[in-house]
């Protein structure tokens, strides 16, 4: 996924655009939606936008709690709250 490559390269704005495009391209399945939302949180974190990052991680933790991304989002939230 191009968004993941952008995150690896530190190009968070690029990645946010790709993730938004992916959301609009088709109605994502729940596991894909969880991934998109989690990666958006990572991008916001990289852009030093902690409120937006926290909101995305909370969304994933609340709506996709029993998925890999839900668990990772909970971990991110616990790190932020320390």
Quote the pLDDT of residue 28. Answer: 75
Q: What is the pTM of this model?
A: 0.90
What pLDDT shows up at residue 76?
94
- Domains of the chain by residue range: 2-80
The pLDDT assigned to 82 comes to 57
| Residue pointed to by tokens 């991008």 | 43
Whether residue 42 contacts residue 7, with contact meaning beta carbons closer than 8 Å, is answered with yes
- Reported as a single tens digit per residue, the pLDDT across 18-65 is 999 988 887 878 899 999 999 999 999 999 999 999 999 999 999 999
The architecture in CATH of the region 2-80 reads Alpha Horseshoe (1.25)
């Amino acid at each position: 996924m191009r968004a993941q490559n952008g995150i690896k390269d530190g190009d968070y704005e690029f990645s946010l655009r790709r993730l938004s495009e992916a959301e609009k391209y088709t109605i994502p399945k729940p596991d894909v939606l969880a991934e998109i939302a989690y990666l958006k949180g990572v991008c916001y974190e990289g852009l030093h936008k902690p409120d937006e990052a926290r909101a995305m991680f909370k969304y994933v933790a609340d709506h996709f709690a029993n998925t890999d991304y839900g668990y990772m989002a909970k971990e991110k939230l616990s790190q932020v709250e320390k």
